[in-house]
Amino acid sequence: MSDQNEIRTLGPGKFSTVLDQYIYNVSLDGGCDNEVSAFDQWYGVMYDGMSIFRDRDPFCAELNDAEREMLTESAGAILFEDSQGFFYVDLYDTRSEIERAWSDIIDSLEEDGAFDDDEWD
């Protein structure tokens, strides 16, 4: 199978895939629509996979065909960095799925007392 037809893996290390690393790099450039950190963990959300990278890399040149397709056909991504510095990405098919997942993260953090209700409105 051609390298262009599969998601390339990385590791062991901070990232599981080339796509995860790519999304991380974009998040460093202010690519997240919203983010929150708590308990030495960080979460970010990026809506609309097609437009997330328009300013940084309009053709997603760093990605192969399979990675580019997976990213641009997604409704967006939720990013997570744990206390050890490992980084994870979940891509979502629909806007409602990503909004529900983001809401679940916020609800869980609120239940765990990660931040005051006044802090997150």
- pLDDT (tens digit, 9 = 90+) per residue, 21-62? 888 888 887 778 899 988 788 999 998 876 666 666 666 777
Least confident of 59-68, 72-81, 96-105, 108-117: 108-117
Residue 71 is predicted with a pLDDT of: 86
The answer, yes or no, to whether residue 16 has pLDDT greater than 50, is: yes
Domain count, the chain: 1
Strand spans (E) along 6-81: 34-38, 41-47, 76-81
For residue 95, give its domain range. Answer: 3-119
* Residues in CB range of 89: below 8 A, 6 or more apart: 17, 19, 20, 23, 24, 77, 78, 79, 80
Residue 110 is predicted with a pLDDT of: 84
Neighbours of 81 (CB within 10 A): 18
Query: Across all residues in the chain, what is the average pLDDT?
Result: 83
- 68-78 per-position pLDDT tens digit: 888 888 999 99
